[in-house]
Amino acid sequence: MLVRLQKFLAEAGLGSRRHCETLISAGQVTVNGQPVTTLGTKIEPGTDQVSVAGQPVRVERKVYIALNKPTGYLCTSRDTHDRPTVFDLLPAELPRLFTVGRLDYDTAGLLLLTNDGTFSLRLTHPRYKMPKTYRVEVEGELTPAQGQQLLHGVLSDGEKLRAEKVFDVRGSRLKLVLREGKKRQVRRMLAAVGHPVTKLTRESIGSITLGNLKPGQWRYLTNEEVRQLVGAQ
């Protein structure tokens, strides 16, 4: 069966589909020894020989992991300043993985990792609006009016940011649900209403929660959990 080249690369663990499109456009991908730069080119897996930067691409088994990311870890495969990354917490024998979205260096909590580009897209693309729940501690105490502001939307750097739900507000502590994925969104929203974040933890992504995972621990997602996430939109 013919599949689009960028989809094949994403499912082989080369990154998100958008990243794979960038590899193709940059001329780093060859099919049967010939450079291919046209997006939408179709290949037949198992018959056509695909390489990236001269290295053959092999489709690996799909892996889906839930990790409780501690603060002080980056969501990149390597860092020029030699800071620890989330991949340092995983066994070396796992296939090459990438994070499904990111958590900031100073943010903890649930992080998903995979080598399945289609799965990653379903969880991160804005049109799917995957809900994510965060536990937040802030400076000062959040008022009911400020909680309503977060629901109706606040402006940060000219961008409107809003929470899907604000609940369990107890003075300087609260939980909120986002269906957007803007950069440093929780921190920007709380700063906009006068309460800078002091501690931030992501508790869930869709139906997947931290559960009993301690900071630095990880587990495989079950087949049912993967189906629930992909079918949640």
Active site residues: 104
The C-alpha atoms of residue 128 and residue 111 are separated, in whole angstroms, by 18
Beta-bridge partners for 220: 65
**Helix 223-230 / helix 117-124 crossing angle, nearest 10 deg:** 50
Q: How is residue 208 written in tokens?
A: 């997947």
Sequence-separated (6 or more) residues with CB below 8 Å from residue 158: none
- 119, 230 contact by CB (below 8 A): yes
Residue keyed to tokens 């977060």:
150
What is the total residue count of the chain? 233
User: Which SS3 state, helix, strand or coil, does residue 140 take?
Assistant: coil
Strands (DSSP E) contained in 32-153 are 34-35, 42-43, 50-52, 55-56, 64-69, 98-99, 108-114, 132-138
- 119, 226 contact by CB (below 8 A): yes
Question: CA–CA distance from 101 to each of 74, 119, 146, 153, 159 (Å)?
Answer: 12, 11, 28, 22, 20
